[in-house]
A and B are shown apart, each in its own frame.
Chain A
């Protein structure tokens, strides 16, 4: 590690901790689990800043590769185990692998449609780990609670067939969120809550077409709230009752509201693809007031990250014309753009880690002045739309065909 960078990094880390409200001082050599989609703070940002600069000179070392089946599920990491999902021959498979070796610990499968509507199809949501349980939502409404140790089915529901929930055009793709005793799913007009112990419905929202984002926990005026996207809105609800606290009308073609809403103070950022664009709203007593709106930052699937007052994300629909962009939170102005094509991203401190759709891993500084790539490495072939995950010094990337690669960032130069 470059020593001269240390104070700066420390500052960044401290800021991250403060933002997260973390009380512990894990130190610069922090490592953490990533037990669900978007990580422990639900923001897509890792605190493992000590790892990322190590592969600057060469491609990071490949620890292992595995084949997990067709789909776009990311990975969750908890207690040395990796959870993900894929599709093969008419069945979805939930995988538990040893995170260090890639060796299967257990797997659980259930019948599922491929769902290859204008894309490869396969699984969408990422399994969520909490304690000794793993929660899974399939695109077609299967909800499974599995033992984290052995994959045993503790309970199972089918929301489309048993509950007549309305399947959105591409199936449900938001990952499950555990909040206290609740399991929250982006199903219906603004969410669906199950008792995580039994799978029984606690509340459900009105009949409606869900969006494709993962339920986003926020604190709103001191209260825990959860934001759900539907085909035409982002709605914050009281997770205990399902009652809507506020709702922002946000209509996107085909109902694809897939990126999560980002909330800071009383400001809410939303973005979607299909030429829709992005907007910042100030939400008050009288409803949502538009602060700015533009059509140059269209997050089709992958959510933007908010780092130090700036948004970083992929603009454009899934093709080579898409660009990585930096946008000012306050004004919506594009600060810079980089011709990386479509992709998705995570971050470690002030480092963006982008996996392009073509399988190139690009590390760049999260700096609003200009695009500053630090390192690039081709890590996968095929179509990569899934967010890369950094946890315990390992970076996990997958492609649609189900090739999962583990890169060891602890063994850098």
Chain B
């Protein structure tokens, strides 16, 4: 275990240096441009594709979306950015068959990650898929297995593994200056209030709503779901824990030697936003506005908490991770960088400012993309490889299973089974809506 961790760290560190040093060289012959396709042409998908275009190693050959407007807008923008004229597809299977892309970006909602990701690696493409890996645990496992079997790189959009202030903070944590860590607290808070139901409506013109729902349950279109609102509908995603929690749980998994928690408990609800409504006329979202999740590891405990109201005015930080050690508390945040609060008098606070490649959206996707390309070139694992990302991504999913069944679950992380609780265990997967088939892992 120990050796493995050291090896992993060493690899990660050297990869990081490689990624920073990478830049196009004028003297060298032009590097190969990968035939690149984007599946899911919304806000985030285009963010990734823009970074791909900027990195200079992609020729954009195909775009796929079930919403024609998103497809058209994105095709226009690609053409403006680099002159490429990608062909437009409504069905990812047709895109893969006709364009034979070497690199596929997947930025669909969570419920639509697994099938195209697996199909893409099986068709020989390397995949950059957005976080979390999937919607249910066994989809994620199937993605990992498929990428291994096909020998293709699968990078997951956990850009906080490469963001400079995260790396600095992680170096600080590993230097021992925080002491022995016994607990990690992860959190996000925002503002909000009661949620009123919104009437169902016609889907936007040119959106194939049946295809949008795809393998997930078909629900009436509701304006709250699109764009982006699906994050808070549990048929399609895992709420704030799935969306935000995965980034911070991933920081924990990046830091620890351990591979999985052994027990998980989560509770919460919608005390402020009100009961979830879903009838034939109107709907609210259904994800919890309040949630606490406890992840019990062998050598420490990690907790997650979120509130979508009240903000966090009693604390300096509104989002992030606190690592509690014998020598102090390390906070890793977002726009507030990282800060170390020592327990001993006379020891100075330490702080690192955030540095974003994309200041507007506050992320470090560009170096994650360059790392992905470098991993393909040099046939190595990327920094947010599917294997590591799988271990992080399933934690929110397990938290949501505990939340749904209302009891703690015991996790056998080797067999990836919930022990002694068949009802909870059944939620590691779900039946897909016909004709789609749940992927085999």
Contacts and interface: CB of A to CB of B under 8 A. Distances in A.
Contacts of A207: 205
B32 interface: no
Given A169-B223, A321-B359, 19 more contacts: A113-B196, A113-B198, A113-B199, A117-B223, A167-B202, A167-B223, A207-B205, A209-B69, A209-B205, A231-B69, A251-B72, A251-B73, A252-B73, A253-B70, A253-B73, A255-B69, A255-B204, A275-B77, A321-B360
A192 to B, nearest CB: 16
A258 to B, nearest CB: 15
A167 B201 contact: yes
Contacts of B80: 295
B174 interface: no
B224 interface: yes
B227 interface: yes
| Most B CB within 10 A of own CB, among A113, A118, A253 | A253
Interface string A319-334: 1010000000000000
Contacts of B70: 253
Interface of B: 43, 46, 69-70, 72-73, 76-77, 80, 196, 198-199, 201-202, 204-205, 223-224, 226-229, 359-360
Contact of A253 (B43, B198, B201, B360): B43
28 contacts: A113-B198, A113-B199, A115-B198, A117-B223, A117-B224, A118-B228, A166-B202, A166-B205, A167-B201, A167-B202, A169-B204, A169-B223, A169-B227, A207-B205, A208-B205, A209-B205, A231-B69, A231-B204, A232-B69, A232-B72, A251-B69, A251-B73, A253-B70, A255-B69, A255-B204, A275-B77, A295-B80, A321-B359
Contacts of B205: 166, 207-209, 231
A114 interface: yes
Contacts, number: 47
Nearest to B194: A114
Contacts of A254: 227
Contacts of A295: 80
A252 B227 CA distance: 14
A208 B228 CA distance: 22
B113 to A, nearest CB: 22
A254 B41 CA distance: 11
A232 B204 CA distance: 12
Interface string A202-215: 00000111000000
Contacts of A224: none
A197 B109 CA distance: 48
A252 B80 CA distance: 13
A231 B204 CA distance: 10
Contact of A114 (B46, B69, B196, B360): B196
Interface string A108-120: 0000011101100
A169 B207 CA distance: 12
Interface string A62-81: 00000000000000000000
A90 interface: yes
